[in-house]
């Protein structure tokens, strides 16, 4: 199959560029293409008697299309950064540009069959096909780091096989640095946006996500923690077919959680109650949190009513000292007491003694707002609330102020992303959740 082709089902596939120089040249060609678009658009505007601003020439749908297509082809850290930028800075971009970059949150372009075979032979040996009764070379999902295939093992087990794209692990740092440079030079991200913490976070998280043995260990541990919880279902690792680059698990069917927008209200409420209750258990009981808020990590078994949990590459331990500080913040926010929040916020690095009172108030105010659902006696209606938008807008406004640019620890940033993801999913499902009761485990 050539580098740019179609699988048997008509799905487009392109080989993942795995060499460092190939990936660097790919980003270089992207920059050249953006510059060419700018020159052409500039000449067209001048011919029509208009004098365009440089930013208007950079932030165009044509350039956004070019960026989205190139990053979806490269996959790996390059695509992951694009996904995160589209999530975190999308509201600061022109709407037509932001909508194009949202493509990066959908499936990536799949690897061609020849590249899949090469990866599997390198990890399982040339006779690997004898281990399967059936193996589908058409992926059921393709993301930034790898893609998932279904199969049936020789002993009849239905499995899901996550195959990492070649070269992803080796290119993480260089990909992220190159994309950051490209974004700054091209103007696709406004210069007023400080996304350096996001990039550092991406490097650290991707190094862990790209180690499938690490993910397998996290999955086994998480299964043990939820062994007494019949409401949740997790895959089981198939050890003999798992390596650093290939993760094989029992196949878990079900429907995407975000597709349940028209399910009965009680069912949507129950799903979000399970997710929010699980977060509080992760935070205060396990101190072991799956920090990736991607909706695709949750599926729902409509036959059994069990919530299916997937993808544990971004699962992290939280020190008991950090958890105690968050408990202090939570208690202060419940009482709407900024003075009670401030010491823990300083210890966690949200601000320091030199931070202006206005910026301190902005941060503590966000904590107080975030606990709004917990202060309500009874179910909180996320579907009619603008809480997620208010928190997002407050964070963006604070991030735009240069004299407050600050970088909390990666664990802090990841926790924010998890909570924001839960709130957004609850809003999308229009769920009504008694958050205080869920937090108490009742």
Catalytic center residues: 292
Structure tokens at 184: 């700054």
The Cα 68–Cα 65 span in angstroms is 5
The Cα 412–Cα 375 span in angstroms is 23
The enclosing H or E element of 437 equals helix 435-439
The Cα 272–Cα 311 span in angstroms is 18
C-beta of residue 148 within 8 angstroms of C-beta of residue 160: yes
The CA distances from residue 351 to 93, 210, 326, 418, in Å, are: 27, 32, 15, 21
C-beta of residue 7 within 8 angstroms of C-beta of residue 13: yes
- Strands 141-142 and 146-153, how do they pair? antiparallel
**Residue 18 φ then ψ, to 5°:** -105, -25
- Buried residues in 175-185 as b, exposed as e (16+ CB within 10 A): bbebbbebbee
Cα three-residue angle 79-82-84, rounded to 5 degrees: 110
C-alpha torsion 112→115→116→120, nearest 10: 170
Q: How many CB atoms lie within 10 A of CB 139?
A: 23
C-beta of residue 11 within 8 angstroms of C-beta of residue 3: no
Is 215 buried (19+), middle (13-18) or exposed (0-12) by CB count in 10 A?
A: buried
C-beta of residue 405 within 8 angstroms of C-beta of residue 371: no
The Cα 292–Cα 413 span in angstroms is 11
Structure tokens at 88: 């975190």
Q: How many CA atoms lie within 13 A of 205 on its CB side?
A: 32
* Nearest Cα to Cα of residue 55 among 70, 72, 34, 80: 34
C-beta of residue 39 within 8 angstroms of C-beta of residue 63: no
């Amino acid at each position: 199959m050539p580098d740019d082709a179609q699988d048997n089902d008509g799905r487009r596939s392109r080989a993942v560029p795995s060499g460092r120089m190939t990936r660097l040249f790919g980003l270089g060609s992207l920059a050249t293409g953006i510059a060419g678009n700018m020159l052409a658009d500039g000449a067209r505007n001048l011919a029509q008697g208009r004098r365009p601003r440089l930013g208007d020439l950079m932030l165009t749908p044509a350039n956004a299309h070019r960026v989205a297509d190139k990053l979806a082809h490269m996959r790996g850290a390059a695509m992951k950064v694009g996904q995160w930028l589209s999530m975190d800075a999308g509201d600061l971009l022109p709407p037509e540009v932001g909508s194009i970059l949202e493509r990066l949150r959908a499936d990536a372009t799949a690897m061609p069959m020849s590249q899949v075979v090469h990866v599997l032979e390198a990890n399982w040996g040339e006779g690997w096909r004898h281990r399967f009764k059936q193996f589908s070379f058409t992926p059921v999902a393709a993301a930034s780091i790898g893609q998932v295939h279904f199969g049936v093992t020789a002993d009849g087990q239905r499995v899901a096989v996550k195959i990492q794209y070649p070269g992803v692990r080796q290119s993480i740092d260089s990909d992220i640095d190159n994309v950051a440079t490209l974004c700054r030079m091209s103007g696709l991200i406004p210069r007023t946006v400080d996304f350096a913490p996001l990039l550092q976070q991406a490097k650290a998280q991707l190094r862990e996500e790209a180690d499938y043995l690490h993910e397998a260990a996290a999955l086994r541990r998480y299964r043990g923690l939820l062994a007494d919880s019949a409401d949740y279902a997790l895959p089981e690792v198939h050890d003999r077919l798992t390596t650093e680059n290939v993760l094989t698990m029992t196949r878990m069917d079900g429907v995407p959680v975000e597709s349940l927008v028209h399910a009965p209200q009680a069912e949507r409420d129950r799903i979000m109650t399970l997710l929010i209750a699980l977060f509080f258990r992760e935070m205060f009981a396990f101190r072991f949190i799956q920090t990736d808020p991607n909706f695709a990590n949750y599926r729902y078994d409509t036959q059994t009513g069990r919530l299916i949990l997937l993808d544990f590459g971004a699962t992290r331990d939280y020190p008991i000292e950090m958890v105690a500080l968050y408990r202090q913040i939570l208690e202060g926010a419940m009482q709407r007491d900024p003075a009670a929040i401030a010491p823990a916020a300083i210890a966690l690095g949200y601000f320091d003694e030199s931070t202006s009172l206005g910026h301190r108030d902005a941060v503590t105010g966000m904590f107080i707002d975030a606990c709004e659902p917990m202060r309500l006696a009874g179910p909180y209606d996320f579907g009619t609330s603008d809480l997620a938008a208010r928190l997002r807008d407050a964070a963006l406004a604070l991030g735009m102020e240069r004299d407050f640019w600050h970088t909390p620890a990666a664990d802090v940033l990841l926790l924010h992303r998890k909570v924001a993801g839960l709130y957004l999913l609850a809003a999308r499902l229009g769920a009504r959740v008694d958050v205080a009761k869920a937090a108490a485990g009742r």
